[in-house]
């Protein structure tokens, strides 16, 4: 399991890589005979098992939209804070607060991120003159304040469903772990088989996740 793939995204990840795997099965099996049709059938069965579990949960359209927007805001802030950290370093200022905020956003710790945003905003405002010389937008501290309000609202809407999903994934951890292990095995094989082919990106998990989030409304990497 990785920081850039959320457990609740495993079934969608399985769908995405499964299409490439099915299309390329005859080529993959030349190098990896154990990844033939029996393995594919087992993978699809495990994927359907997870989908069946998740199908018992009901997510409203509002909650779906909140989930996508929450990830979008968190990913956008994380990217912007990468630039802020470089500006801080160039200005000889402490990066610890921004790094801690980035870590919470990366780990989907929205509550922790919300608590840290105000302090980071105040710090950037206090040093805005020198940071703007390094490249920080003049309105970025205000953007942080607006992002805090968005994150609080979206997180509240999403939490009802996510608490149920966390309970589901915790109770069925072995099933999710097994599915991800199969996905990773397919991905590793595909990256090697197609290492000199444009198809390789279809087996790079981080790139698949980026496409997934873009497809369903998230930010492109």
pLDDT along the chain (221 residues), means of 10: 73 95 97 97 96 73 75 90 96 96 88 93 96 96 92 80 76 91 97 95 93 60 39
Q: Do residue 88 and residue 31 come from a single domain?
A: no
Where do the H-state alpha helices sit in 32-135? 37-55, 61-91, 96-106, 110-126, 128-134
Residue 1: predicted pLDDT: 46
d(CA 100, CA 105) in angstroms, rounded, equals: 9
84 and 98 Cβ atoms separated by less than 8 Å: yes
Gap between the Cα atoms of 151 and 220, Å rounded: 19
Residue (of 194, 181, 180) closest to 12 by Cα position = 180
Residues 97 and 168 in one domain: no
Considering the domain architecture, whether residues 20 and 90 belong to the same structural domain is answered as no
Q: Cβ distance 135 to 83 under 8 Å?
A: yes
Record the pTM: 0.57
Please give the pLDDT value at position 92: 96
Q: Indicate if 68 and 156 belong to the same structural domain.
A: yes
Q: Judge if 125 and 172 occupy the same domain.
A: no
Q: Which of 113, 136, 160 is the last residue of a domain?
A: 160
Note whether 67 and 148 are same-domain residues. yes
How many domains, in total, are found in the chain? 2
Shared domain for 65 and 122, answered yes or no, is yes
2 in any annotated domain: no
Compute the distance between CA of residue 12 and CA of residue 75 in angstroms, rounded to an integer.
19
Tokens representing 218 are: 């998230």
Domain membership flag for residue 204: yes
Q: Is residue 221 part of a domain?
A: no
The C-alpha atoms of residue 184 and residue 161 are separated, in whole angstroms, by 27
Range of the domain at 17: 7-59+162-215
CA 174 to chain centre: 21
Question: Are 90 and 146 in the same domain?
Answer: yes
Residues 19 and 90 both lie in one domain: no
Q: How many CB atoms lie within 10 A of CB 43?
A: 22
């Amino acid at each position: 399991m990785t920081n850039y793939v959320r457990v609740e995204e495993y079934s969608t990840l399985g769908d995405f890589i499964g299409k490439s795997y099915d299309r390329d099965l005859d080529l993959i099996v030349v190098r990896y005979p154990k990844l033939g049709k029996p393995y594919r059938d087992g993978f699809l069965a495990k994927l359907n098992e997870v989908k069946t579990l998740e199908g018992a949960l009901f997510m409203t359209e509002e909650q779906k939209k909140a989930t996508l927007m929450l990830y979008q805001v968190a990913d956008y802030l994380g990217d912007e804070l990468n630039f802020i950290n470089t500006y801080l370093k160039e200005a000889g200022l402490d990066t610890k607060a921004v790094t801690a905020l980035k870590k919470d956003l990366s780990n989907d710790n929205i509550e922790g991120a919300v608590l840290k945003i105000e302090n980071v905003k105040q710090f950037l405002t206090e040093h805005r003159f020198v940071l703007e010389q390094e490249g920080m937008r003049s309105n970025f501290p205000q953007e942080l304040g607006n992002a805090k309000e968005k994150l609080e609202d979206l997180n509240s809407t999403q939490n009802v469903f996510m608490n149920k999903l966390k309970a589901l994934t915790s109770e069925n951890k072995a099933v999710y772990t097994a599915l991800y292990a199969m996905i990773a095995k397919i991905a590793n094989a595909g990256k090697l088989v197609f290492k000199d082919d444009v198809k390789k990106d279809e087996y790079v998990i981080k790139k698949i996740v980026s496409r997934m989030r873009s497809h369903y409304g998230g930010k492109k990497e």
